[in-house]
Amino acid sequence: MTVHNAEIARQFNLLADLLEIEDANPFRVRAYRNAARIVEGMAHSVAEMVERGEDLSEIYGIGEDLARKIEELVKTGELSALQDEEKRVPVQLTELMRIDQLGPRRVKQLYRELGIKTLADLSRAAKAGKVQELEGFGEKTEAKILAGLEQLTSSGRRTKLSEATEIAESLADYLRGLEGISKVTVAGSYRRRKETVGDLDLLAVTEDGAQVMNRFVDYPEVEEVVSKGTTRSTVRLRTGLQVDLRLVPGRSYGAALCYFTGSKAHNVEIRTRAAQRGLKLNEYGLFKDNEYVAGRTEKSVYEQVGLAYIEPELRENTGEVEAAEAGQLPELVTMDDIRGDLHAHTNATDGHATLREMARAAADRGYEYLAITDHSKRVTMARGLDEKRLRKQLESIDALNDELRDITLLKGCEVDILEDGQLDLPDSVLEELDLTVCSVHYHRELSRKKQTERIIRAMDDPCFTILGHPTGRLINEREPYEVDMEALMEEAAERGCHMELNAQPSRFDLIDAHRRMARDMGVKVAICTDAHSTDNLDYMRFGVEQARRGWLTADDIINTRRLPALRKLLRRA
């Protein structure tokens, strides 16, 4: 049995919750949460590191004690510190903390004084008016708790980046249209381009806070005003998404942008650096003895603490601060670097547009090439192509390439990787293609070992070019299948195979933790939209953003190459 990084993180976070309710040293709590975040973000399996006898305490943020606890968890599947804590504090109480307005202190008080353990207990007590009688609580708090209970059961899940983008852009446009406001930016995890966002943090410059806040809460999509002040307000939109608007004067804009972009761990790191230099950093600026030093731009803030500017996508405290100090930040890939798309479908299978429409749409986006990669026959739901139909499509592509001057269509296929690792079409036809995107669609349930062997076997086929959506996860819907990604990377590097970073907003796969791994292991990445319509080609933007989160440069991405150079990379040695 393998204990996954996510499981280690879950248990540490749970322990942190329980310790908080117990009123433990807040810095100790932070250490657990910090460790959970570190482990979750690691590309390598911590369990395997333990098996190899590596010293986990060498990881920054994990000391002797936590290293021992991880070891215990990996070897026994259990964490005795957590079990001890569960004897002292009912574990259900951590559920209560998910409710807005309820933190560790109030949860503890509810438990001690009213015996409330579960959401159901809480609902009953609040409806009976028992909660407002407690010291420190009141009528309004009780009402908010009831509203929070309602909210928790109705939504609860994080919003996908693509959905958040539509909502955020309309709202930002609305605010930009208001009088007396300038520079509206959506900060937070949205600006870091995390795959999902919990809420939206908007930041704007204004001299007339009261007026702007009045208009903000008037935004037609606002369902509820959670709080309202002259510098900060919070609303909940009809979609359930919570939005914070923070107003600052112009000279504080950069400092506030740093602060509200986060991540929290990154901020702590930057503020600590500031403190070491005798400076104080808050959302209003960088100060020396209460004297304003910098803050109008983010760049000025980073400069004053001795760092190069750090792109928002990197601000996760996973080494970017050290890299900025050493002048070794990567030059991240941009949309301008992208010269084509290598994974797209047509109406020959489950796409909506014709070959010609897809070609036209790609040319309109300034691309040099577009690979047509319809499904292979095993994917019957999509009416996958057999050998005969694929050959027919290849003829159409030849004809279209003869006709079109401004774009080249590449011949491809999204080939299903069968259960035994064979490719779904014979090499005799695959050899005629420029590339294949080989993907797992069925038998996701195989063991980690078998799944890994299956995919490596597929890579043995000389016609295998790119591994499509390498983990098969769907955000908020489906977990990744079990696979040893490190082994896959190693084999891919050896064979000259590439990894897809699928830009579909539900996929973003390679997932976050594996992108830097690809780079570190010398595997090139193809950012592909997996477009099923002409509009879908615009997902490229999201794919590039996700690549940036993985520290990837133009050189790490194959579809930044001109066509001749790309062709060389597509050919297996």
Partner DNA sequence: GCCGTTTTCGGCCCGACTGTTTTCAGTCG
Give the residues lining the site for DNA (CB under 7 A).
Answer: 25, 27-28, 30-32, 35, 57, 59-67, 81, 97, 99-107, 132, 135-142, 144, 188, 198-199, 201, 227-233, 242, 244, 260, 264, 267-268, 271-272, 275-276, 280-284
Question: Is the CB of 58 or the CB of 477 nearer to DNA?
Answer: 58
* Sheet strands (E) in 384-507: 408-411, 414-416, 437-439, 466-467, 498-502
CB of 95 to DNA, least distance (A): 13
Shortest Cβ distance from residue 264 to DNA (Å)? 6
Provide, rounded to whole angstroms, the least separation between the CB of residue 166 and DNA.
Answer: 21
- Residue 26 CB coordination number (10 Å): 11
Q: Residues 68, 99: contact at Cβ < 8 Å?
A: no
Packing angle of the helix pair 512-520, 485-495 (nearest 10 deg): 40
The token pair that represents 112 in the structure block = 């001690």
**Cα distance between residue 382 and residue 379, in whole Å:** 6
Of 91 and 521, nearer to DNA (C-beta) is 91
Taking the least distance from each CB to DNA, the nearer of 154 and 227 is 227
Joined together, the tokens standing for residue 520 give 């570190």
Residue type, 357: E
Nearer to DNA, 71 or 490 (CB): 71
Q: Toward DNA, which CB reaches closer, 327 or 564?
A: 327
Q: 265 vs 314, which CB is nearer to DNA? A: 265
Phi, psi (degrees; rounded to nearest 5) at 477: -125, -45
In angstroms, give the least distance from the CB of 248 to DNA.
10
Query: Minimum Å distance from CB 189 to DNA?
Result: 9
Which residue type occupies 376? S
Q: Which is nearer to DNA, 170 or 272 (CB)?
A: 272
Pick the closer one to DNA by CB: 79 or 413. Answer: 79
- From CA 534, how far away is CA 372, in angstroms rounded? 12
Task: Name which of 99 and 175 has its Cβ closer to DNA.
Answer: 99
Give me the residue label for tokens 């919003």: 159
Q: Indicate the SS3 state at residue 177.
A: coil
Question: Exposed, middle or buried by CB within 10 Å (0-12, 13-18, 19+), for 130?
Answer: middle
Closest contact distance (angstroms) between CB of 475 and DNA is 20
Q: Are 59 and 34 in contact (CB under 8 A)?
A: no
Work out how close the CB of 224 gets to DNA at its nearest, in angstroms, rounded to a whole number: 12
Dihedrals phi, psi of 332, to nearest 5 degrees: -65, 145
| Shorter beta-carbon distance to DNA: residue 279 or 513 | 279
Q: Nearest approach, Cβ of 445 to DNA (angstroms)?
A: 36
Residue 410 Rama label (left phi>0; alpha psi -120 to 50; beta): beta
SS3 at position 345: coil
Give the residue with the Cβ less far from DNA, 244 or 316.
244
Least distance between DNA and beta carbon 25 (Å): 5
CB proximity list for 409: less than 8 A, separation 6 or greater: 355, 359, 369, 370, 371, 372, 397, 400, 401
Q: How far is the CB of 510 from DNA (least distance, A)?
A: 28
What length is written for the chain? Answer: 573
Gap between the Cα atoms of 55 and 511, Å rounded: 26
CB of 8 to DNA, least distance (A): 13
Q: How far is the CB of 138 from DNA (least distance, A)?
A: 2
Residues 441/469, Cβ–Cβ less than 8 Å:
no
- Give the amino acid at 524: K
With beta carbons less than 8 A apart as the criterion, state whether 275 and 230 touch.
no
Residue 1's identity, in one-letter code, is: M
Between 218 and 479, whose beta carbon lies closer to DNA?
218
Q: Residue 109: enclosing H or E segment and its boundaries?
A: helix 104-114
